[in-house]
Amino acid sequence: MKPVRSARHAWSVARTVGLVGMLAAPFALQATSTAEQSDLLELPERLSQTGLFMTGAPAIDPRNRSYAPQYPLWTDGARKSRWVRLPSGGRIDARRADAWGFPVGTRFWKEFAFRGRRIETRMLWRSTPNTWTFAAYVWNDAQTDAVLAPADGVRDVVEIAPGKRHTVPSRDDCRTCHDTGATPVLGFTALQLSDDRDPAAPHGEALAPGMLTLRRLIDDHLLDPMDPRLAIERPHIPGDPDTRAALGYLTANCGYCHNERSDLATVQFPLSMPAFASPAELARTLSTLAPRSTKWDAPGSAPGTTPLVKPGSPELSALVARMRSRRPSSQMPPLGSSIVDTAGVELVSSWIAGRRF
Amino acid sequence: MKRRSLTLLLSAFTLTLAAGAATLAGAGAADTRPAGTAAVSRGEYLVRFGLCHDCHTPLKIGARGPEPDLARALSGHPSGVALPDAPAPAGPWLWGGAATNTAFWGPWGVSFTANLTPDEETGLGNWSEEQFVMALRTGRHEGKGRPILPPMPYQYVSSLSDEDLRAVFAYLRSLPPVHNKVPAPIDPAEEPAPATAEPSR
């Protein structure tokens, strides 16, 4: 009998198939294949058929504009590239500064590369006035094109670090993050595209020539109608530089679930900053982080006694403990990452250590 | 050898579930609760067929030994039951459960069966129907959070249609709320070793 290599490996196996779920595998597969069939009727089979590339060449179609959010989402160190295309003549409805509306036909792509190789490209498509369609494409070995991933995603497609492998998310997992906030488009917002970029943002990316920013969108008349503040103020999280960077990081990495619009019973505090936060709004956000217990209990702690944030003591703060964890019941965010973001942990820890709240 | 071990494990668990179901069927025959809507009735039927009571309804000692305590039906692991530390998974003995059949240990740590009654503080009282359906579709708490842990067979339950899952939710919402705060799951002792990724971007 082959011994189990480690508890971690065993957990991975159990998580993948489910111990009892193995009994039901035929039923589950049947249900999945029906869902897949429905999606495949609408989604192109290959990335090259989605409009990302020029016809006949795996080069980006110049109609697709690249951009880089100032606070990138941590995805285990993946190198990301992003593009957006609006339909011909299409404009973004930016009357709500934090919840832009996109015309039907809008497509976003995000490419994930590890160790110099493209692994997957995700597409977010405004397919109808009421629908955002999610898809992921897995790159072939020759790096010439990518194939539509099943609705259930693809587990463990490539090793990204010793003992760690990247998983292409299921479409339900896409909705887990993208369907909880004011808009499903998370990285293309007024705050993320602000020309007043945060120099202390972890993993901040330099703007390449031609990249879309808020200013460029306005100058190109692509925001119409729009909140008039967008034309005269540059979105910026208020507060000292540490607070700005920490809240920006938390907005991008936590705010898609931890926001005031969330209907999750267990989400107790907002971590999402708007484009134009007033000092009062900043104070209110910080007050929600002030000493309070969480539903999550630190190991060895009595139930209900673990503080969300203990000012001056990041090591006693649930927020940091869960960012540092990749154990199944504790890790935050709960999906999309299997490697701790040490830079993010250091930033938030340093901020908590130096704050009184 | 490996396949044989797996077969034995699954057979044993199936027998356990079958025995529990038989016990519950007998107890359920005396249930005189008024019939609800068609969806509630359908949901009750699915809950019985799905053996949900086997793990989510605490046991009590009756005249013939342990039997489901229907006064606490589907209220999950009793908060008053203190358990010693679970053994560490080792070798082929990968997982197991407490005698209550409401707590289980394995490579995922320790999991406790949830309170499915509509108690607002400790059960599903604050859950929406959509969250319930998404939880069983995705295998995530509230459809978005931490993974729902083994041995909950969410993969099996997710084979139900949306209509059936909504019926199950309707039935659960029709139950009397039971205030029972189930402990949070306990993570495994082993923290994944720090890994080094390429320069973060």
As to burial, measured by CB atoms within 10 angstroms (0-12 exposed, 13-18 middle, 19+ buried), residue A243 is middle
Band (A182; pLDDT cuts 50, 70, 90): confident
Q: Measure the CA–CA gap between B54 and B69, rounded to whole angstroms.
A: 11
pLDDT higher than threshold 90 for residue A148: yes
Query: From the list B94, B143, B146, which residue is nearest A4 (CB)?
Result: B94
Query: From the list A23, A161, A173, which residue is nearest B197 (CB)?
Result: A161
Element (H, E) at A69: none
User: In this complex, is the C-beta atom of A7 within 8 Å of any C-beta atom belonging to chain B?
Assistant: yes
Region A150-179: mean pLDDT is 93
Helices within chain B (DSSP H only): 2-28, 38-49, 52-56, 129-138, 154-157, 162-174
| Chain B residues whose beta carbon lies within 8 Å of the beta carbon of residue A18 | 139, 150-155
What sign has the CA pseudo-torsion A340, A342, A346, A348?
negative
- The residue that leads in pLDDT, A348 or B200, is A348
By C-alpha distance, the chain B residue nearest A300 is B186
| Chain B residues whose beta carbon lies within 8 Å of the beta carbon of residue A175 | 134
Q: Residue A327 and residue B109: Cβ atoms within 8 Å? A: yes
B201 to A74, A201, A273, A323: CA distances (angstroms): 8, 11, 22, 18
pLDDT at B191: 59
Q: Measure the CA–CA gap between A150 and A36, rounded to whole angstroms.
A: 7
Say if residues A65 and A73 touch (Cβ distance below 8 Å).
no
pLDDT at A319: 94
A152 to A32, A148, A331, A336: CA distances (angstroms): 7, 11, 22, 14
The DSSP letter of residue A134 is E
- Those of residues 23-82 in B touching chain A at CB distance below 8 A are none
Say if residues A245 and A197 touch (Cβ distance below 8 Å).
no
How many helices (H) and strands (E) in chain A? 9, 10
> What pTM, to 2 d.p., does this model score?
0.81
- Those of residues 241-280 in A touching chain B at CB distance below 8 A are 257, 263-266
CA B9 to chain CA mean position, Å: 19
- Which residue spans within chain A are E strands per DSSP? 65-66, 79-85, 92-94, 107-114, 117-128, 131-139, 146-148, 154-161, 164-168, 223-226
- The residue that leads in pLDDT, A29 or B35, is B35
pLDDT at B112: 97
Q: Measure the CA–CA gap between A282 and A83, rounded to whole angstroms.
A: 31
Q: Measure the CA–CA gap between B43 and B26, rounded to whole angstroms.
A: 19
Q: Measure the CA–CA gap between B146 and B197, rounded to whole angstroms.
A: 23
Say if residues A276 and A97 touch (Cβ distance below 8 Å).
yes
pLDDT at B91: 82
pLDDT at B19: 43
What are A77-96's pLDDT values in tens digits?
A: 999 999 999 999 999 999 99
What ipTM is given for this predicted complex?
A: 0.71
Rounded average pLDDT per 10-residue block, chain B, 201 residues: 38 41 43 65 97 95 91 96 89 91 94 97 94 93 91 93 96 97 87 43 41
| Chain A residues whose beta carbon lies within 8 Å of the beta carbon of residue B200 | 74, 77, 202-203, 341, 343
User: In this complex, is the C-beta atom of B141 within 8 Å of any C-beta atom belonging to chain A?
Assistant: yes
Q: Which two tokens stand for residue A42?
A: 């609408």
β-pair partners for A83:
A66, A109
The upper half-sphere exposure of residue A229, i.e. CA atoms within 13 Å in the direction of its Cβ, equals 15
Interface mutation vs chain A, best among B144, B186, B190, most A CBs within 10 Å: B144
Q: Residue B156 and residue A24: Cβ atoms within 8 Å? A: yes
pLDDT higher than threshold 80 for residue A12: no
Q: Measure the CA–CA gap between B101 and B76, rounded to whole angstroms.
A: 10
pLDDT at B121: 92
DSSP, collapsed to helix, strand or coil, labels residue A278 as coil
Question: How many other CB atoms sit within 10 Å of the CB of residue B29?
Answer: 7
Q: Measure the CA–CA gap between A5 and B41, rounded to whole angstroms.
A: 46
User: In this complex, is the C-beta atom of B140 within 8 Å of any C-beta atom belonging to chain A?
Assistant: yes
Interface mutation vs chain B, best among A1, A17, A20, A256, most B CBs within 10 Å: A20
User: In this complex, is the C-beta atom of A34 within 8 Å of any C-beta atom belonging to chain B?
Assistant: no
pLDDT at A199: 97
Band (A56; pLDDT cuts 50, 70, 90): confident
Query: From the list B10, B91, B194, which residue is nearest A4 (CB)?
Result: B91
DSSP, collapsed to helix, strand or coil, labels residue A210 as coil
Q: Measure the CA–CA gap between A273 and A296, rounded to whole angstroms.
A: 23
**What mean pLDDT value characterizes chain A?**
87
What are A284-295's pLDDT values in tens digits?
A: 888 888 778 888
Which has the minimum average pLDDT: A34-43, A149-158, A232-241, A307-316?
A34-43
Peptide bond between residue A225 and the one before it cis (omega within 30 degrees of 0): yes
Q: Residue A14 and residue B150: Cβ atoms within 8 Å? A: yes
pLDDT at A54: 93
Q: Measure the CA–CA gap between B186 and B201, rounded to whole angstroms.
A: 33
Give the A:B interface size as CB pairs under 8 Å.
193
Task: Provide, rounded to the nearest whole percent, the portion of chain A with pLDDT above 70.
Answer: 86
Question: How many other CB atoms sit within 10 Å of the CB of residue B26?
Answer: 12
